Structures are given as C-alpha cells and as structure tokens.
Amino acid sequence: MNKEYSKEELSAALKNYFGFSGFKGLQEPVIMNVLAGRDSFVIMPTGGGKSLCYQLPALISSGTAIVVSPLIALMKNQVDFLKSLSETEGIAHVLNSSLTKAEIKQVRADVRSGVTKLLYVAPESLTKEENIEFLNRVTISFVAIDEAHCISEWGHDFRPEYRNLRKIIQRLGGEIPIIGLTATATPKVQEDILKNLGIQEATTFKASFNRPNLYYEIRPKTKSVDADITRFVKNNEGKSGIIYCLSRKRVEELAQTLQVNGIRAIPYHAGLDPKTRVKNQDMFLMEDADVVVATIAFGMGIDKPDVRFVIHNDMPKSIESYYQETGRAGRDGGEGHCLAFYSYKDIEKLEKFMSGKPVAEQEIGLALLQDVVAFAETSISRRKFILHYFGEEFDNETGEGGDMDDNMRHPKKKHEAKDQLVDLLNAVVQTHQKYKAKEVVHVMRGKVNALIKSHKIDAMAIFGAGSDQPSEYWMALIRQALVAGLLTKDIETYGVLKLSDAGHAFLEAPTSFLMTEDHRYKEANDDVVVSTAGQVGAVADQTLFKLLKGQRKTIADKLGLPPFVIFQDPSLEDMALKYPITIEELSNVHGVGDGKAKKYGASFVTLIENYVTENQILRPDDFVVKSTGSNSALKLYIIQSVDRKLPLIDIAQAKGLAMEDFIKEMEAIVYSGTKLNIDYYLEDILDEDSQEELHDYFMEAKSDQVGPALEAFDGDFEEEEIRLYRIKFISDVAN
C-alpha cells in the first residue's frame, strides 16, 4: 500500500517538515518499521523523541493515522505544532467531545478527503459508536497509542479505557498496523502492553534509559530539611531547578522559605488558579524565576533543557515517577543533580494514603513503594539499580556515568557474603519460593508468625540460621542478590522471591559474593541537629557551645539573673551550628527573636566572630536559613490580645488552641525576647505570696525547667501555674 522509502527520502522529509538534520536514537528504524506496515513497540525515556516516530510516517503515508493519547492538553499542543509545520490547515485534528457540531463536520470532511494526516483521539471518544462507524469508512494508515503504559495496572497511570483499544481497532479494519509508545520500561508493564494491544509479534525498539549526565543522591530527611534545601539552592545560585513536594501546603511553605532567603522561587500546584499557574510556569521558562517548587502536577510537557537540579522533598510513589521527575534535569546533556530526601516516615504516610483503596490496587502500590525504599536504602550503584529496575543491564565499572551517584563517590566497604548468600538462597528454595522479602528475612532471623507456623518452616534447620545478623543485613543481601540477577521478584504475586537460573548455578558452585550494607536512615531521622548528614554530619560545635555557655554565665552574673533568661540551651546550640556574626543573623537562630538579639546578642556575636577567625572556620556564607515564621500571625494575635487584657481562655478558644498549646506559644514569644504582660490574669489565680515564692525560686534556680520546680514546691503549685508564672518571670526580668 505504502511506497517504499529510502533513507535519503526519510532524511529529506525530516528536514522538510521538522527542520531537523538527523534522527535521534532509534527514530529511523522505528519509522521504517511503521512504514513497512509492521506493528511496533517503542520504549524510550521521556524526551527521547517518541512523537516523531509516528508523526513523520503519518505525514508521508496515504490515509489518516489515528493517535490515541490520554491528555487533551497534550493532544492540542501536538495538533497546533503540526499545523505550524504545514500550509494545509486540516493536516491534524483533535476529535473529542468538546467540539461543536460544525467543527465535527469539518474534521470529518478533512479526514474523508485525505487532507488530515493525523487524527488525535481520546480513548473515551474512540469508544463512541458513531466515531467507530465513521472511522470504519475511511483509510487509516496506522494507529499510534501514545503513553501506552496507561493500559497496565502496573504502570503509574492506569486508565481503564485503554483496555478497550484492541477491540475497537479490530473493528476499524483487519490489518491496521499499530505502534505503541511508552517511557515506562518495567518488564511487567511491557508485557501487559503487548498482550493487551494484541501485538505480541511487534518489533520492539528499546532505547537505553541511562542518563549518564545525571548525578543521583539521597540524603536522610531530618528536621533541618528546609535548611538543607535552602543551602543546596544557594550553593547553586542562578541555576534552574525544580523541587517536588507531595502536598500543596508543603509547596507553599517551601517556596516561601526560599523566597525569604533571597531565592527567586515560585510555587506551582493544581490548587492555584489557572492564570497564576500559567504565569508561574512562564516565569520559570522565561527565567524570571530560578526555582519552581511544585507538586507532580508540574512537568507534563515541560521541556526546559537547562534544568540543573531536581530535588525531591518527599520520595515519589514509584521508581518510574522518580525516573520521570529526575529526568527533567539536564536534558541538554549538561549538569543535572538529582537530590532526594528520604525518611521512612514519609513512606508510612504514603502507605496510609493507600489504605482506602481497593485491595489489589493497594498491593500494587505497596510493591512499587517497596522498590522506592530499596532504592533509597541501597548502597550499590544507584544507576545500576534504576536500570535493573527497567530491565537493563548496567556495568558500573565501565558503563557511562558509572560513578555519578553518592554511593559510587563515597563507597562503603565491601565484605565477603558467600556463606550468607548460600543460606539465603537455600531459605528461598526450602520455603518453596512462596515468600516475599520480608518473610524470608523472618525465616533467616528465626521470627515466627502465623504464616511461617502454618507452613512448619520454624521446624526447619534453616529457620533462624541467620539470627546473628540484623534484619537490615538480610534485606540488603536480598536486594543485592536481586540486582545481581540471582533472585527474581515475581510481580504478579506482589513480590514473591524466586531463584533465577543464575541463582541455582550459584547454589551448585558458590563463588565469592561481595556485599555492602545498606544505609540506615531510620536512626538519623530522629536527630535534630544533623543537618547535612551523609556529608560532614554538621553537629553543633562543642567547643564553641562551651564558650557560649561561659559568656551567658558572665552576663547573667553581671545582671544578677539566672542564665536561662538570657538564652536557652537550644539557642546556644543552634548558634554553635550556624555561627551567626551579626545581630540580624543571630535573630534567625532558634528561639531568638529580634528583641532578644538586640538586647543580649552583641557580646555573643563578637565572641563567635573571634572564634570563627581564630579557628579559620569556613563559615558557609549561606548559613542563615530564615524561617517564614509560619505562625507569626498567630503570635501577633496573641500579643495584641494580651495587650488588650483579654481573658487567656478566650484567646486560646478564638484560635482553637488547647491551653497547653496556647501556653507553649506564649513561652515561645517571651523566650524569643518579646514582653507579654499577663499580670491581669495571674492576679486571679495566684495570690501575692505565691507569686513572691515563685519569683524567688526562679531567681535562684539553676534551670527554668518545670520538673525541678514542681518537685521543689512539692505539690503546692500546679504545672500550669508554674508555667504561667514563668512566662511573667521571663518577660519581666529578661525582656
């Protein structure tokens, strides 16, 4: 039906229509295959140039190509683009439910006359009987299914309507060639696509998913994540970057924090009104903003070539998403730093989100999530891990980009694990290859549960054979055996482990197997002061901390005040971490407000400045990570209400605060240096004598802690009374 094309003719068409001087990757062989009327299956990473694989053959074939695509916006873009390539107005059309009757008539006329080379159809519209009848009567060159992973429940974007495509295409005529395209490369999804589209015989074209210019790094997510991100961005000033967050709220917060710190950042999420969204997206594209903080709503169709970093404030739901999102960095082949912050708590949050969904969907979601955990915790080449996930072999010794991740730059020591691996593989075999990783770990560690009991595994010799090693060790060994290809994970049963042929061969004749233990981030998560762990582990400078305490004592003695009213310990610790050398910088330290910084700060910043100079400390010039004072509105409200002498209970109620939390807010206010006069309230609850007793106590006390005070008074005062009085005390004496 089609005439044969030579390579020269194809190149001429490429130049003619698209203005490109050469094909990208596998485009040429794909196009030849399509033109030859064979089914094709194209797997290329995002940005690989998939569209051209059907656009070009459609333009030079007789008849109309039908393009199925899930997103109306993307279809519109493509149609506009194609129209811009040609003088023929009707060269491409969209057929969907939003068209008017007149428009539909025009589309049909253009298709019938053969003018239209590409007809974009949403899967829903394709199921409509009238459309099927119409298409049945026209010449169709081929059908392209873009984003073909939507057909699989195992992809990250399952669309049930995609499941009907095969039946419909059959009704359109016998021998219409099909081309399926996707950027999702997991073997399971691929298999699903081929089966559901009924194109098992298709020629498969798979491009490598390796992005050698991307650097992958995972850091533990601690309480200092705001500071960590701000520092990273400041160290990359002027470069374009995307920061992904799971929630809209977090997007807003983080964008604000960055703005306060002088970074040109803008938020982007689906909750913004469309105008703002378009404006913010344009600002990023036009480089009026350097950084966009966004939910995953951002990025579809974004093709900024010089994005220099992609940060994940939260881990994504699957490796596919991670790959897609990080893939937006370094499109031009230049630097692309992919930094993700990982905390197991976040994974648990994601698990909870899923708990309302149907069971099968949950199982799939959890299985995908477990791979994210494995990726974060692994200590092997991250590139090898990702590519293995996508069914691709990668040798990190010789492969391109082999040293481009944190694990390869800072490798952990390897040790021999041959015997342990033999035990592990034996455990998998002896439990009849029916267990998932978690359960196999239980077997190795000798942990009984109902399942293990019912299978009588606890009576076997292998049960507990590895109790000398912690669970994390066995989990790491399983993950490394998977990547080494000795074990496989059965996706259909949500992750049951099986021995591969190579695994069996290993058991017959065991050889050396070097492993590294995985990262353990869980411990780091609870740390408050670890800031850039994984790097130098920035913990407060203990020498400076002692000096600062000494300084506090000197001043306290001079003023005849207890030290804690000057600065509290956490504030000193934070100073010993951040090295503030101006009053302004000091006012950004934990628990130190403007007032306090001005009143007591001078001698402290001088001390720090001298210390920094003498010890030649390289003070990161970007250290001052200002917080947005997210509840500063609340604080202001409290200060004003107390000024007006409103009953404390009313103030708390007006803000929906429990008394306990309300007191905490007031404490934060006075400790950071602002006066709060609550005398009018204390008069009602404490008589003069009691107040005097409490005053004397705090003047003499070594610390301002409530515990010791309660003890000292032996039940004379309630905790709330002590805390309320303490607010007055700090406010009166210190501020």
Q: Which stretch binds Mg ion (CB under 5 A): 45-53, 84-92, 525-533, 593-601?
A: 45-53
As measured in angstroms, the least distance from the Cβ of 421 to ligand ADP is 39
48 binds, options Mg ion, ligand ADP, none, Cβ within 5 to 8 A by partner type: ligand ADP
Contacts 24+ apart (CB under 8 A), 702-708: 702/562, 703/564, 704/562, 704/564, 704/565, 704/568, 704/730
As measured in angstroms, the least distance from the Cβ of 401 to ligand ADP is 20
Which residue's beta carbon is nearest to the bound Mg ion?
A: 50
Q: Strand, helix or coil at 42?
A: strand
Distances (CA, A) of 612 to 225, 578, 605, 618: 25, 11, 10, 8
Pairing state of beta strands 178-182 and 40-43? parallel
The structure tokens listed for 614 are 């003498």
Pairing state of beta strands 487-490 and 496-499? antiparallel
- A 10 A CB-CB count for 13 gives 16
The structure tokens listed for 54 are 């059907």
23 binds, options Mg ion, ligand ADP, none, Cβ within 5 to 8 A by partner type: ligand ADP
DSSP code string of 485-514 = TSEEEETTTTSEEEE-HHHHHHHHS----E
Buried b (16+ CB within 10 A) or exposed e, 110-127: bbeeebbbbbbbbbebbe
Nearer to Mg ion, 300 or 636 (CB): 300
Nearer to ligand ADP, 48 or 401 (CB): 48
Nearer to Mg ion, 50 or 221 (CB): 50
Q: What is the 3-state secondary structure (H, E, C) of 634-670?
A: HHHHHHHHHHCCCCHHHHHHHCCCCHHHHHHHHHHHH
Q: Which of residues 64-123 bind Mg ion (CB under 5 A)?
A: none
80 binds, options ligand ADP, Mg ion, none, Cβ within 5 to 8 A by partner type: none
Which parts of 113-158 fold into alpha helices (H)?
123-126, 129-136
Calculate helix-pair angle for 165-172, 129-136, nearest 10 degrees. 40
Residue 119 and residue 104 in contact, taking contact as beta carbons nearer than 8 Å: no
47 binds, options ligand ADP, Mg ion, none, Cβ within 5 to 8 A by partner type: ligand ADP
Nearer to ligand ADP, 74 or 373 (CB): 74
Distance between CA atoms of residues 361 and 366, nearest Å = 9
As measured in angstroms, the least distance from the Cβ of 511 to ligand ADP is 41
Q: Which stretch binds Mg ion (CB under 5 A): 10-18, 44-52, 550-558, 576-584?
A: 44-52
Nearer to ligand ADP, 209 or 473 (CB): 209
As measured in angstroms, the least distance from the Cβ of 210 to ligand ADP is 15
Site residues, ligand ADP (CB under 6 A)? 20, 23-24, 27, 44, 46-52, 303
Nearer to Mg ion, 92 or 311 (CB): 92
303 binds, options ligand ADP, Mg ion, none, Cβ within 5 to 8 A by partner type: ligand ADP
Nearer to Mg ion, 50 or 723 (CB): 50
As measured in angstroms, the least distance from the Cβ of 51 to Mg ion is 5
Nearer to ligand ADP, 178 or 441 (CB): 178
Burial degree of 590 (CB within 10 A; 0-12, 13-18, 19+): middle
485 binds, options Mg ion, ligand ADP, none, Cβ within 5 to 8 A by partner type: none
Distance between CA atoms of residues 114 and 625, nearest Å = 62
The structure tokens listed for 665 are 């807010």
Q: Which of 492, 688, 669, 682 is nearest to 593 (CA)?
A: 669
Count of residues that interact with Mg ion, criterion CB under 5 A:
1
As measured in angstroms, the least distance from the Cβ of 410 to Mg ion is 36
As measured in angstroms, the least distance from the Cβ of 385 to ligand ADP is 23
Nearer to ligand ADP, 122 or 258 (CB): 122
267 binds, options Mg ion, ligand ADP, none, Cβ within 5 to 8 A by partner type: none
As measured in angstroms, the least distance from the Cβ of 46 to ligand ADP is 4
As measured in angstroms, the least distance from the Cβ of 205 to ligand ADP is 12
52 binds, options Mg ion, ligand ADP, none, Cβ within 5 to 8 A by partner type: ligand ADP
Distances (CA, A) of 352 to 208, 342, 361, 437, 439: 35, 17, 13, 21, 21
Distance between CA atoms of residues 474 and 479, nearest Å = 9
Residue 585 and residue 578 in contact, taking contact as beta carbons nearer than 8 Å: yes
494 binds, options ligand ADP, Mg ion, none, Cβ within 5 to 8 A by partner type: none
Q: Which of residues 505-534 bind Mg ion (CB under 5 A)?
A: none
Longest dimension (CA), the chain: 105
44 binds, options ligand ADP, Mg ion, none, Cβ within 5 to 8 A by partner type: ligand ADP
Q: What is the DSSP letter of 540?
A: -
As measured in angstroms, the least distance from the Cβ of 36 to ligand ADP is 20
- A 10 A CB-CB count for 134 gives 16
Nearer to Mg ion, 50 or 445 (CB): 50
344 binds, options ligand ADP, Mg ion, none, Cβ within 5 to 8 A by partner type: none
As measured in angstroms, the least distance from the Cβ of 47 to ligand ADP is 5
Residue 445 identity (one-letter amino acid) = R
As measured in angstroms, the least distance from the Cβ of 158 to ligand ADP is 19
As measured in angstroms, the least distance from the Cβ of 147 to ligand ADP is 9
Nearer to ligand ADP, 52 or 387 (CB): 52
Q: Is the dihedral of CA 529, 530, 531, 537 positive or negative?
A: positive
Q: Which of 75, 21, 33, 30 is nearest to 52 (CA)?
A: 30
531 binds, options Mg ion, ligand ADP, none, Cβ within 5 to 8 A by partner type: none
Nearer to Mg ion, 50 or 219 (CB): 50
Q: What is the 3-state secondary structure (H, E, C) of 241-281?
A: EEEECCCHHHHHHHHHHHHHCCCCEEEECCCCCHHHHHHHH
Nearer to Mg ion, 116 or 324 (CB): 324
* Interface residue list for Mg ion (CB under 5 A): 50
